[in-house]
């Protein structure tokens, strides 16, 4: 969701070189963004202050002579490295009272916060500037990387006659964002009967969800959750005929790869974090209690996801893939 900001910066100044400082796990994603010159590892754990370490990193970056730093997280810690690096222009949202650490301060309208893409895009200009239209962005995947990922997992290369449907049943935030296991199992069975090879993809934390899907319908899919890193997950998703996903990071990756996508929303809002692709089909019941943004259904019925039937999602998946029933 930050990639349109990078593309906008290059629209304004074509000769601009953009480096990105980010945690190690994010680097494969950044390396597939054509706007990024260098992806630099931030060695600090979540919530870790490590003031001395941030000072040392900042001083090592000072020699590069950066003209501006744009700080996307709202924490005080994230603004320390650009300050220690003596970068003259340091932009970001006020966040945790970062006066002094940042010298171009944007303020977020808490009563009507913009979608995340627009929130980041605003940082390309000065506070109060009219918001430009978000550039369309894409991740770049090489055939060599895809072939390597397929070979490592002993997977048959997808083709027109052997299409692959990828299901992403996880969502890090909590159960309320996850379509039910039994629904995924039924959908996987329907897709298999329609001639698709079905792969389940996600992190190691999603592996038990994948196993539960297979337990509900044995043989309906191949559980790859936890068997890929982020780099190979991106490469494999690029080969899918269709992706069906909860509102998650993999949903946004599928959209950025311009794959046909069915995005399932329940407790969260497609207005806040929509998939940015003309090939995405959003499924959202918009119940009176949605979006609640809760980790678990506060009312206990979970209708926002349970009432989103496998038959309905199957029809959307076939249409997204350009297939008739």
How many domains are contained in the chain? 2
In tens, the pLDDT along 67-83 reads 999 999 999 999 999 99
Q: Could you tell me if residue 57 is inside a domain?
A: yes
Which residues have CB under 8 Å from 213's CB, separation 6+?
Answer: 167, 169, 181, 184, 185, 188, 200, 220, 221, 223
Assess whether pLDDT exceeds 70 at residue 37: yes
Share of the chain above pLDDT 70, in %: 99
Q: Could you tell me if residue 130 is inside a domain?
A: no
Angle in degrees, CA 324, 250, 283, rounded to 5: 45
Q: Could you tell me if residue 277 is inside a domain?
A: yes
Residues 179 and 249 in one domain: yes
- Cα–Cα distance between 6 and 15 in angstroms, integer? 13
Residues 187 and 282 in one domain: yes
Global pTM? 0.86
Domain end point (choices 124, 157, 177): 124
Q: Could you tell me if residue 173 is inside a domain?
A: yes
In tens, the pLDDT along 164-205 reads 999 999 977 778 899 999 999 999 999 999 999 999 999 999
Residues 60 and 147 in one domain: no
Strands across the sheet with 89-93, in order?
Answer: 68-71, 89-93, 104-106
Provide the 10 A C-beta neighbour count for residue 299: 12
What pLDDT shows up at residue 113? 83
Q: Which helix (H) or strand (E) holds 244?
A: strand 242-246
Is residue 44 left, alpha or beta, with left meaning phi > 0 and alpha meaning psi from -120 to 50? Answer: beta
Residues 119 and 182 in one domain: no
Q: Could you tell me if residue 200 is inside a domain?
A: yes
Residues 294 and 160 in one domain: yes
Residues 189 and 154 in one domain: yes
Assess whether pLDDT exceeds 90 at residue 46: no
Residues 170 and 44 in one domain: no
Assess whether pLDDT exceeds 80 at residue 325: no
CATH number at residue 309: 3.40.50.2000
Q: Could you tell me if residue 132 is inside a domain?
A: no
Q: Could you tell me if residue 219 is inside a domain?
A: yes
Min mean pLDDT across 196-200, 294-298, 306-310 is at: 294-298
Instruction: Quote the domain boundaries for residue 77.
Output: 3-124
In tens, the pLDDT along 232-288 reads 999 999 999 999 999 999 999 999 999 999 999 999 999 888 999 999 999 999 999
Assess whether pLDDT exceeds 80 at residue 88: yes
Q: Could you tell me if residue 135 is inside a domain?
A: no
Residues 91 and 37 in one domain: yes
Residues 181 and 296 in one domain: yes
């Amino acid at each position: 969701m930050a990639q349109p900001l990078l593309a906008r910066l290059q629209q304004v100044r074509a000769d601009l070189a953009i480096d990105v400082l980010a945690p190690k796990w994010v680097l494969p994603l950044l390396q597939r963004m054509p706007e990024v010159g260098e992806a630099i590892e931030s060695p600090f754990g979540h919530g870790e202050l490590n003031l001395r370490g941030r000072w040392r990193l900042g001083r090592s970056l000072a020699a590069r002579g950066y003209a501006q730093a744009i700080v996307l997280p709202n924490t005080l810690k994230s603004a320390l490295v650009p300050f220690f690096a003596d970068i003259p222009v340091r932009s970001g949202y006020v966040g945790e009272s970062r006066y002094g650490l940042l010298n171009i301060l944007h303020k977020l309208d808490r009563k009507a916060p913009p979608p995340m893409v627009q929130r980041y895009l605003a940082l390309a200009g000065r506070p109060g500037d009219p918001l430009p239209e978000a550039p369309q962005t894409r991740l770049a995947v090489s055939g060599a990387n895809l072939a390597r990922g397929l070979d490592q997992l002993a997977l048959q290369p997808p083709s027109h006659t052997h299409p692959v449907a990828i299901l992403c049943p996880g969502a890090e935030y909590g159960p309320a964002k996850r379509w039910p296991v039994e629904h995924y199992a039924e959908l996987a069975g329907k897709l298999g009967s329609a001639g698709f090879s079905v792969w389940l993809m996600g992190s190691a934390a999603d592996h038990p969800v994948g196993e539960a899907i297979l337990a509900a319908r044995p043989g309906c899919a191949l559980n790859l959750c936890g068997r890929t890193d982020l780099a190979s997950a991106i490469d494999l998703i690029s080969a899918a005929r269709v992706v069906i996903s909860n509102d998650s990071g993999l949903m946004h990756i599928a959209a950025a790869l311009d794959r046909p996508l069915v995005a399932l929303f329940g407790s969260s809002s497609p207005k806040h974090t929509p998939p940015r692709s003309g090939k995405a089909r959003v499924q959202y019941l918009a119940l009176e209690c949605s979006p609640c943004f809760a980790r678990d259904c506060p009312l206990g019925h979970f209708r926002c996801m349970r009432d989103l039937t496998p038959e309905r999602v199957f029809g959307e998946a076939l249409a997204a893939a350009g297939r008739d029933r």
